[in-house]
Structure 1
Protein backbone atom coordinates (compact mmCIF):
# COMPACT_ATOMS: atom_id res chain seq x y z
CA UNK A 1 0.00 0.00 0.00
CA UNK A 2 1.44 3.35 -1.06
CA UNK A 3 2.16 5.80 1.74
CA UNK A 4 0.49 9.21 1.25
CA UNK A 5 2.95 12.03 0.69
CA UNK A 6 2.81 15.78 0.95
CA UNK A 7 2.98 16.80 -2.69
CA UNK A 8 2.37 19.88 -4.82
CA UNK A 9 -1.42 19.40 -4.80
CA UNK A 10 -1.53 19.39 -1.00
CA UNK A 11 0.74 22.44 -0.78
CA UNK A 12 -1.42 24.26 -3.32
CA UNK A 13 -4.50 23.44 -1.22
CA UNK A 14 -2.81 24.94 1.85
CA UNK A 15 -1.87 28.05 -0.13
CA UNK A 16 -5.48 28.40 -1.24
CA UNK A 17 -6.46 28.33 2.43
CA UNK A 18 -3.86 31.04 3.04
CA UNK A 19 -5.46 33.13 0.31
CA UNK A 20 -8.86 32.88 2.04
CA UNK A 21 -7.28 33.78 5.38
CA UNK A 22 -5.92 36.96 3.80
CA UNK A 23 -9.26 37.71 2.15
CA UNK A 24 -11.19 37.25 5.40
CA UNK A 25 -8.73 39.42 7.33
CA UNK A 26 -8.93 42.12 4.64
CA UNK A 27 -12.74 42.06 4.68
CA UNK A 28 -12.95 42.14 8.46
CA UNK A 29 -10.33 44.86 8.86
CA UNK A 30 -11.54 46.88 5.88
CA UNK A 31 -15.14 46.70 7.05
CA UNK A 32 -14.13 47.41 10.62
CA UNK A 33 -12.41 50.68 9.70
CA UNK A 34 -15.51 52.76 8.79
CA UNK A 35 -17.74 51.11 11.40
CA UNK A 36 -14.98 51.38 14.01
CA UNK A 37 -14.56 55.07 13.23
CA UNK A 38 -18.30 55.51 13.70
CA UNK A 39 -18.11 53.70 17.04
CA UNK A 40 -15.16 55.85 18.16
CA UNK A 41 -16.93 59.08 17.21
CA UNK A 42 -20.11 57.96 18.94
CA UNK A 43 -18.11 56.94 22.00
CA UNK A 44 -16.65 60.45 22.27
CA UNK A 45 -19.82 62.31 21.24
CA UNK A 46 -21.52 64.88 23.44
CA UNK A 47 -24.90 63.18 23.22
CA UNK A 48 -25.32 60.65 25.96
CA UNK A 49 -27.42 58.17 23.97
CA UNK A 50 -24.68 57.92 21.33
CA UNK A 51 -22.06 57.21 23.99
CA UNK A 52 -24.25 54.58 25.63
CA UNK A 53 -25.00 52.88 22.30
CA UNK A 54 -21.30 52.75 21.38
CA UNK A 55 -20.37 51.54 24.87
CA UNK A 56 -22.93 48.73 24.61
CA UNK A 57 -21.62 47.71 21.19
CA UNK A 58 -18.04 47.58 22.45
CA UNK A 59 -19.02 45.68 25.58
CA UNK A 60 -20.98 43.13 23.54
CA UNK A 61 -18.19 42.25 21.13
CA UNK A 62 -15.28 42.61 23.53
CA UNK A 63 -17.08 40.69 26.25
CA UNK A 64 -17.94 37.61 24.18
CA UNK A 65 -15.60 35.18 22.38
CA UNK A 66 -15.14 35.55 18.65
CA UNK A 67 -16.04 31.87 18.32
CA UNK A 68 -19.47 32.54 19.85
CA UNK A 69 -19.97 35.52 17.55
CA UNK A 70 -19.27 33.33 14.52
CA UNK A 71 -21.84 30.81 15.73
CA UNK A 72 -24.49 33.48 16.30
CA UNK A 73 -24.05 35.11 12.89
CA UNK A 74 -23.88 31.78 11.05
CA UNK A 75 -26.86 30.10 12.71
CA UNK A 76 -28.77 33.23 13.74
CA UNK A 77 -29.73 34.21 10.19
CA UNK A 78 -31.10 30.71 9.62
CA UNK A 79 -33.61 31.24 12.45
CA UNK A 80 -35.19 33.97 10.32
CA UNK A 81 -35.19 31.84 7.19
CA UNK A 82 -32.11 33.51 5.70
CA UNK A 83 -29.53 31.09 4.33
CA UNK A 84 -26.21 32.80 3.81
CA UNK A 85 -22.92 31.14 2.81
CA UNK A 86 -20.28 30.57 5.49
CA UNK A 87 -17.93 33.21 4.05
CA UNK A 88 -20.63 35.89 4.33
CA UNK A 89 -21.42 35.00 7.95
CA UNK A 90 -17.73 35.01 8.82
CA UNK A 91 -17.18 38.34 7.04
CA UNK A 92 -20.08 39.96 8.94
CA UNK A 93 -18.88 38.56 12.26
CA UNK A 94 -15.28 39.68 11.71
CA UNK A 95 -16.41 43.14 10.63
CA UNK A 96 -18.57 43.59 13.73
CA UNK A 97 -15.79 42.21 15.92
CA UNK A 98 -13.20 44.52 14.37
CA UNK A 99 -15.44 47.58 14.62
CA UNK A 100 -15.71 47.17 18.40
CA UNK A 101 -11.98 46.76 18.99
CA UNK A 102 -10.91 49.44 16.51
CA UNK A 103 -13.56 51.78 17.87
CA UNK A 104 -12.17 51.44 21.39
CA UNK A 105 -8.59 51.85 20.18
CA UNK A 106 -9.46 54.99 18.27
CA UNK A 107 -11.61 56.32 21.12
CA UNK A 108 -8.54 56.24 23.34
CA UNK A 109 -6.45 57.95 20.67
CA UNK A 110 -9.04 60.69 20.14
CA UNK A 111 -9.20 61.40 23.85
CA UNK A 112 -5.38 61.41 24.02
CA UNK A 113 -5.22 64.43 21.71
CA UNK A 114 -4.66 67.58 23.73
CA UNK A 115 -7.94 69.26 24.62
CA UNK A 116 -6.24 72.62 24.19
CA UNK A 117 -6.11 72.09 20.43
CA UNK A 118 -9.81 71.30 20.15
CA UNK A 119 -10.67 74.25 22.39
CA UNK A 120 -8.55 76.54 20.24
CA UNK A 121 -10.24 75.24 17.09
CA UNK A 122 -13.63 75.77 18.70
CA UNK A 123 -12.65 79.32 19.62
CA UNK A 124 -11.70 79.95 15.99
CA UNK A 125 -15.21 78.96 14.96
CA UNK A 126 -14.43 75.63 13.33
CA UNK A 127 -17.44 73.32 13.33
CA UNK A 128 -17.32 69.75 14.62
CA UNK A 129 -16.61 68.16 11.23
CA UNK A 130 -13.64 70.43 10.52
CA UNK A 131 -12.21 69.99 14.02
CA UNK A 132 -12.31 66.21 13.78
CA UNK A 133 -11.19 65.95 10.14
CA UNK A 134 -8.40 68.52 10.16
CA UNK A 135 -7.11 68.52 13.74
CA UNK A 136 -8.14 65.58 15.92
CA UNK A 137 -8.33 62.53 13.63
CA UNK A 138 -4.92 62.95 11.91
CA UNK A 139 -3.21 63.07 15.31
CA UNK A 140 -5.36 60.27 16.70
CA UNK A 141 -4.56 58.08 13.71
CA UNK A 142 -0.83 58.55 14.31
CA UNK A 143 -1.16 57.74 18.01
CA UNK A 144 -3.30 54.66 17.42
CA UNK A 145 -1.22 53.12 14.63
CA UNK A 146 0.78 50.66 16.78
CA UNK A 147 -2.36 49.36 18.53
CA UNK A 148 -4.22 49.19 15.22
CA UNK A 149 -1.46 47.06 13.69
CA UNK A 150 -1.47 44.87 16.80
CA UNK A 151 -5.18 44.25 16.38
CA UNK A 152 -4.66 43.35 12.71
CA UNK A 153 -2.24 40.63 13.86
CA UNK A 154 -4.90 39.32 16.25
CA UNK A 155 -7.51 39.39 13.49
CA UNK A 156 -5.28 37.40 11.12
CA UNK A 157 -4.92 34.69 13.74
CA UNK A 158 -8.61 34.93 14.65
CA UNK A 159 -9.66 33.92 11.14
CA UNK A 160 -8.63 30.37 12.11
CA UNK A 161 -11.90 30.14 14.08
CA UNK A 162 -13.84 30.35 10.81
CA UNK A 163 -13.19 26.63 10.41
CA UNK A 164 -15.83 25.97 13.09
CA UNK A 165 -18.62 26.94 10.66
CA UNK A 166 -17.17 24.91 7.81
CA UNK A 167 -15.11 27.60 6.13
CA UNK A 168 -11.85 26.35 4.64
CA UNK A 169 -9.12 28.84 5.51
CA UNK A 170 -5.48 28.21 6.38
CA UNK A 171 -5.98 26.22 9.58
CA UNK A 172 -8.84 24.15 8.18
CA UNK A 173 -6.95 23.42 4.97
CA UNK A 174 -4.00 22.23 7.06
CA UNK A 175 -6.29 19.95 9.02
CA UNK A 176 -7.73 18.45 5.84
CA UNK A 177 -4.28 17.85 4.36
CA UNK A 178 -3.02 16.40 7.65
CA UNK A 179 -5.89 13.92 7.71
CA UNK A 180 -5.09 12.83 4.16
CA UNK A 181 -1.29 12.43 4.40
CA UNK A 182 -1.03 11.46 8.10
CA UNK A 183 1.84 13.94 8.68
CA UNK A 184 0.34 16.35 11.26
CA UNK A 185 3.65 17.67 12.58
CA UNK A 186 4.93 18.53 9.11
CA UNK A 187 1.65 19.96 7.86
CA UNK A 188 0.93 22.13 10.88
CA UNK A 189 4.58 23.16 10.96
CA UNK A 190 4.03 24.60 7.48
CA UNK A 191 0.75 26.22 8.57
CA UNK A 192 2.43 27.74 11.62
CA UNK A 193 5.31 29.03 9.49
CA UNK A 194 2.83 30.75 7.17
CA UNK A 195 1.05 32.42 10.09
CA UNK A 196 4.44 33.50 11.44
CA UNK A 197 5.44 34.91 8.05
CA UNK A 198 2.26 37.01 8.05
CA UNK A 199 2.17 38.18 11.66
CA UNK A 200 5.79 38.68 12.69
CA UNK A 201 6.62 41.42 10.15
CA UNK A 202 3.46 43.28 11.19
CA UNK A 203 4.45 42.99 14.85
CA UNK A 204 7.92 44.33 14.07
CA UNK A 205 6.42 47.21 12.11
CA UNK A 206 4.06 48.09 14.96
CA UNK A 207 6.90 47.97 17.48
CA UNK A 208 9.07 50.21 15.31
CA UNK A 209 6.29 52.79 15.00
CA UNK A 210 5.67 52.68 18.75
CA UNK A 211 9.35 53.36 19.46
CA UNK A 212 9.35 56.28 17.02
CA UNK A 213 6.31 57.76 18.73
CA UNK A 214 7.96 57.34 22.12
CA UNK A 215 11.07 59.18 20.88
CA UNK A 216 8.91 61.94 19.47
CA UNK A 217 7.27 62.51 22.85
CA UNK A 218 10.62 62.99 24.64
Structure 2
Protein backbone atom coordinates (compact mmCIF):
# COMPACT_ATOMS: atom_id res chain seq x y z
CA UNK A 1 0.00 0.00 0.00
CA UNK A 2 1.43 3.37 -1.05
CA UNK A 3 1.92 6.21 1.43
CA UNK A 4 -0.76 8.36 -0.26
CA UNK A 5 -3.25 5.51 -0.23
CA UNK A 6 -2.47 4.75 3.39
CA UNK A 7 -2.95 8.41 4.36
CA UNK A 8 -6.30 8.76 2.57
CA UNK A 9 -7.55 5.43 3.96
CA UNK A 10 -6.45 6.31 7.49
CA UNK A 11 -8.29 9.63 7.26
CA UNK A 12 -11.55 7.87 6.38
CA UNK A 13 -11.03 5.29 9.09
CA UNK A 14 -10.36 7.96 11.72
CA UNK A 15 -13.62 9.66 10.79
CA UNK A 16 -15.34 6.31 11.21
CA UNK A 17 -13.57 5.82 14.54
CA UNK A 18 -14.93 9.16 15.76
CA UNK A 19 -18.46 8.02 14.90
CA UNK A 20 -17.83 4.69 16.62
CA UNK A 21 -16.71 6.46 19.80
CA UNK A 22 -19.70 8.82 19.71
CA UNK A 23 -22.08 5.90 19.15
CA UNK A 24 -20.40 3.93 21.93
CA UNK A 25 -20.56 6.78 24.44
CA UNK A 26 -24.24 7.47 23.79
CA UNK A 27 -25.13 3.78 23.89
CA UNK A 28 -23.15 3.20 27.09
CA UNK A 29 -25.09 6.00 28.77
CA UNK A 30 -28.43 4.72 27.48
CA UNK A 31 -27.69 1.05 28.18
CA UNK A 32 -26.48 1.80 31.70
CA UNK A 33 -29.63 3.78 32.51
CA UNK A 34 -31.93 1.11 31.06
CA UNK A 35 -30.01 -1.69 32.73
CA UNK A 36 -30.06 -0.04 36.14
CA UNK A 37 -33.81 0.60 35.96
CA UNK A 38 -34.48 -2.99 34.84
CA UNK A 39 -32.28 -4.37 37.64
CA UNK A 40 -34.02 -2.27 40.29
CA UNK A 41 -37.45 -3.31 39.00
CA UNK A 42 -36.46 -6.98 39.06
CA UNK A 43 -35.01 -6.72 42.56
CA UNK A 44 -37.51 -4.39 44.25
CA UNK A 45 -40.42 -3.71 41.91
CA UNK A 46 -43.97 -4.97 42.34
CA UNK A 47 -44.76 -8.35 40.85
CA UNK A 48 -46.04 -6.92 37.56
CA UNK A 49 -43.09 -4.61 36.86
CA UNK A 50 -40.61 -7.26 37.98
CA UNK A 51 -42.12 -9.71 35.48
CA UNK A 52 -41.96 -7.11 32.69
CA UNK A 53 -38.32 -6.38 33.50
CA UNK A 54 -37.50 -10.10 33.51
CA UNK A 55 -39.27 -10.57 30.17
CA UNK A 56 -37.28 -7.66 28.71
CA UNK A 57 -33.99 -9.15 29.90
CA UNK A 58 -34.77 -12.65 28.64
CA UNK A 59 -36.11 -11.40 25.30
CA UNK A 60 -33.09 -9.34 24.30
CA UNK A 61 -30.53 -11.74 25.76
CA UNK A 62 -32.11 -14.45 23.63
CA UNK A 63 -32.21 -12.66 20.27
CA UNK A 64 -29.45 -11.39 17.94
CA UNK A 65 -28.55 -7.72 18.15
CA UNK A 66 -28.98 -7.36 14.38
CA UNK A 67 -32.69 -8.20 14.73
CA UNK A 68 -33.06 -5.42 17.30
CA UNK A 69 -31.33 -2.88 15.04
CA UNK A 70 -33.31 -3.91 11.95
CA UNK A 71 -36.60 -3.80 13.84
CA UNK A 72 -35.94 -0.32 15.19
CA UNK A 73 -34.57 1.19 11.97
CA UNK A 74 -37.03 -0.34 9.51
CA UNK A 75 -39.90 -0.91 11.95
CA UNK A 76 -40.17 2.78 12.81
CA UNK A 77 -40.31 3.62 9.11
CA UNK A 78 -43.01 0.98 8.63
CA UNK A 79 -45.24 2.87 11.05
CA UNK A 80 -44.76 6.09 9.12
CA UNK A 81 -41.99 7.70 11.17
CA UNK A 82 -38.43 8.59 10.19
CA UNK A 83 -35.44 7.84 12.39
CA UNK A 84 -31.84 8.89 11.88
CA UNK A 85 -29.42 5.99 11.48
CA UNK A 86 -27.31 7.24 14.39
CA UNK A 87 -30.37 7.48 16.63
CA UNK A 88 -31.46 3.99 15.55
CA UNK A 89 -28.00 2.66 16.42
CA UNK A 90 -28.02 4.31 19.85
CA UNK A 91 -31.54 3.09 20.67
CA UNK A 92 -30.85 -0.43 19.41
CA UNK A 93 -27.54 -0.83 21.21
CA UNK A 94 -28.89 0.74 24.40
CA UNK A 95 -31.92 -1.54 24.54
CA UNK A 96 -29.93 -4.66 23.64
CA UNK A 97 -26.96 -4.06 25.90
CA UNK A 98 -29.24 -2.79 28.67
CA UNK A 99 -30.52 -6.36 29.08
CA UNK A 100 -27.00 -7.62 29.80
CA UNK A 101 -26.13 -4.63 31.97
CA UNK A 102 -29.30 -5.25 33.98
CA UNK A 103 -28.00 -8.68 34.98
CA UNK A 104 -24.65 -7.17 35.97
CA UNK A 105 -26.39 -4.65 38.23
CA UNK A 106 -28.77 -7.25 39.63
CA UNK A 107 -25.91 -9.54 40.65
CA UNK A 108 -24.18 -6.57 42.27
CA UNK A 109 -27.29 -5.55 44.20
CA UNK A 110 -27.77 -9.10 45.45
CA UNK A 111 -24.10 -9.24 46.51
CA UNK A 112 -24.55 -6.37 48.99
CA UNK A 113 -24.95 -7.98 52.44
CA UNK A 114 -28.48 -7.98 53.82
CA UNK A 115 -27.12 -6.46 57.01
CA UNK A 116 -26.64 -3.17 55.12
CA UNK A 117 -30.40 -2.94 54.68
CA UNK A 118 -30.96 -3.72 58.35
CA UNK A 119 -28.51 -1.05 59.49
CA UNK A 120 -30.18 1.47 57.19
CA UNK A 121 -33.57 0.70 58.72
CA UNK A 122 -32.13 1.12 62.21
CA UNK A 123 -30.81 4.54 61.19
CA UNK A 124 -34.30 5.49 60.08
CA UNK A 125 -33.70 5.57 56.34
CA UNK A 126 -36.53 4.75 53.97
CA UNK A 127 -36.07 1.92 51.48
CA UNK A 128 -35.41 4.42 48.69
CA UNK A 129 -32.90 6.38 50.77
CA UNK A 130 -31.15 3.17 51.81
CA UNK A 131 -30.86 2.06 48.20
CA UNK A 132 -29.38 5.29 46.84
CA UNK A 133 -27.24 6.18 49.88
CA UNK A 134 -26.01 2.76 51.02
CA UNK A 135 -26.65 -0.04 48.54
CA UNK A 136 -26.05 1.63 45.17
CA UNK A 137 -22.55 3.00 46.02
CA UNK A 138 -21.47 -0.47 47.16
CA UNK A 139 -23.08 -2.04 44.09
CA UNK A 140 -21.08 0.31 41.86
CA UNK A 141 -17.79 -0.88 43.33
CA UNK A 142 -18.81 -4.53 42.94
CA UNK A 143 -20.03 -4.33 39.35
CA UNK A 144 -17.44 -1.93 37.91
CA UNK A 145 -15.09 -4.56 36.36
CA UNK A 146 -17.85 -6.68 34.73
CA UNK A 147 -19.63 -3.49 33.71
CA UNK A 148 -16.54 -2.21 31.88
CA UNK A 149 -16.25 -5.65 30.28
CA UNK A 150 -19.80 -5.25 29.00
CA UNK A 151 -18.91 -1.80 27.69
CA UNK A 152 -16.08 -3.40 25.71
CA UNK A 153 -18.59 -5.78 24.18
CA UNK A 154 -20.80 -2.83 23.28
CA UNK A 155 -17.94 -1.00 21.56
CA UNK A 156 -17.26 -4.05 19.40
CA UNK A 157 -20.98 -4.48 18.69
CA UNK A 158 -21.04 -1.03 17.08
CA UNK A 159 -19.55 -2.67 13.98
CA UNK A 160 -22.94 -4.32 13.37
CA UNK A 161 -24.57 -0.91 12.96
CA UNK A 162 -22.87 -0.74 9.56
CA UNK A 163 -25.60 -3.18 8.42
CA UNK A 164 -28.15 -0.36 8.56
CA UNK A 165 -25.86 2.07 6.76
CA UNK A 166 -24.14 4.03 9.50
CA UNK A 167 -20.70 5.31 8.52
CA UNK A 168 -18.80 4.12 11.58
CA UNK A 169 -15.38 2.45 11.62
CA UNK A 170 -16.38 -0.87 10.09
CA UNK A 171 -18.51 0.77 7.43
CA UNK A 172 -15.60 3.04 6.52
CA UNK A 173 -13.35 0.01 6.12
CA UNK A 174 -15.89 -1.71 3.89
CA UNK A 175 -16.21 1.41 1.73
CA UNK A 176 -12.45 1.58 1.22
CA UNK A 177 -12.23 -2.12 0.34
CA UNK A 178 -15.08 -1.76 -2.16
CA UNK A 179 -13.22 1.13 -3.80
CA UNK A 180 -9.59 -0.01 -3.85
CA UNK A 181 -9.58 -3.64 -2.71
CA UNK A 182 -6.72 -4.78 -0.44
CA UNK A 183 -9.03 -6.17 2.28
CA UNK A 184 -6.20 -7.63 4.36
CA UNK A 185 -4.46 -4.29 4.84
CA UNK A 186 -7.65 -2.26 5.32
CA UNK A 187 -9.36 -4.63 7.72
CA UNK A 188 -6.03 -4.96 9.50
CA UNK A 189 -6.07 -1.19 10.10
CA UNK A 190 -9.68 -1.43 11.30
CA UNK A 191 -8.68 -4.17 13.76
CA UNK A 192 -5.75 -2.08 15.02
CA UNK A 193 -8.03 0.91 15.69
CA UNK A 194 -10.53 -1.25 17.59
CA UNK A 195 -7.60 -2.69 19.54
CA UNK A 196 -6.27 0.77 20.42
CA UNK A 197 -9.66 1.67 21.91
CA UNK A 198 -10.44 -1.62 23.68
CA UNK A 199 -7.04 -2.79 24.94
CA UNK A 200 -6.53 -0.09 27.62
CA UNK A 201 -10.00 -0.83 29.04
CA UNK A 202 -9.40 -4.58 29.08
CA UNK A 203 -6.06 -4.06 30.82
CA UNK A 204 -7.71 -1.86 33.43
CA UNK A 205 -10.28 -4.58 34.14
CA UNK A 206 -7.52 -7.18 34.57
CA UNK A 207 -5.52 -4.98 36.95
CA UNK A 208 -8.64 -4.15 38.94
CA UNK A 209 -9.54 -7.84 39.25
CA UNK A 210 -6.00 -8.70 40.40
CA UNK A 211 -6.15 -6.01 43.11
CA UNK A 212 -9.40 -7.47 44.38
CA UNK A 213 -7.99 -10.99 44.72
CA UNK A 214 -6.75 -11.89 48.22
CA UNK A 215 -2.97 -11.99 48.49
Instruction: State the 1:4 CA deviation.
Output: 11
**Alpha carbons of structure 1 residues 139 and 180: separation in structure 2 relative to 1, 3 Å:** same
Say if 1:201 and 1:175 are closer, same or farther in 2 by CA, change over 3 A. same
Number of the residue aligned with 1:164: 163
Equivalent in the alignment of 2:131: 132
1:205 Cα offset (Å): 0.5
Q: How does 1:145-160 map to 2 (within 5 A)?
A: 145-160=144-159
- How far the C-alpha of 1:32 sits from its partner, in A, is 1.5
Q: Distance in 2 between matches of 1:9 and 1:15?
A: 10
* Unaligned runs of at least 5 residues, structure 1: none
Q: How does 1:159-198 map to 2 (within 5 A)?
A: 159-198=158-197
Aligned length: 214
Please state how far the C-alpha of 1:161 moved relative to its aligned partner: 0.2
For 1:6, what is the secondary structure of its paired residue?
helix
Asked if the contact 1:4–1:181 (Cα under 8 Å) also holds between the matched residues in 2, the reply is: no
**What CA deviation, in whole Å up to 9, does each residue of 1:12-37 have, x standing for no partner?**
11100001110111010011222221
**Match in the other structure for 1:12:** 11
What is the RMSD of the two structures over their aligned residues, measured on CA atoms?
A: 1.6
Note the C-alpha offset of 1:5: 6.0
Supply the distance in 1 between the matched residues of 2:14 and 2:167 (Cα, whole angstroms).
11
**d(CA) in 1 for partners of 2:211 and 2:129?**
28
What TM-score, normalized to structure 1?
Answer: 0.93
| Distance change >3 Å, CA 46–CA 87, structure 1 → 2 | closer
Q: How far apart are 1:182 and its partner, in Å?
A: 1.6
The corresponding residue for 1:90 is 89
* 1:121 positional shift: 1.2
- Structure 1 counterpart of 2:100: 101
The change in CA–CA distance for 1:127 and 1:64 in structure 2 (over 3 A counts) is same
Matches of 1:21 and 1:115, distance apart in 2: 41
Question: 2:199 matched to which residue of 1?
Answer: 200
Provide the C-alpha distance between the structure 1 equivalents of 2:140 and 2:66, rounded to a whole number of angstroms: 29
Preserved CA contact (<8 Å) 1:32 1:96: yes
**Structure 2: gaps spanning 5 or more residues:** none
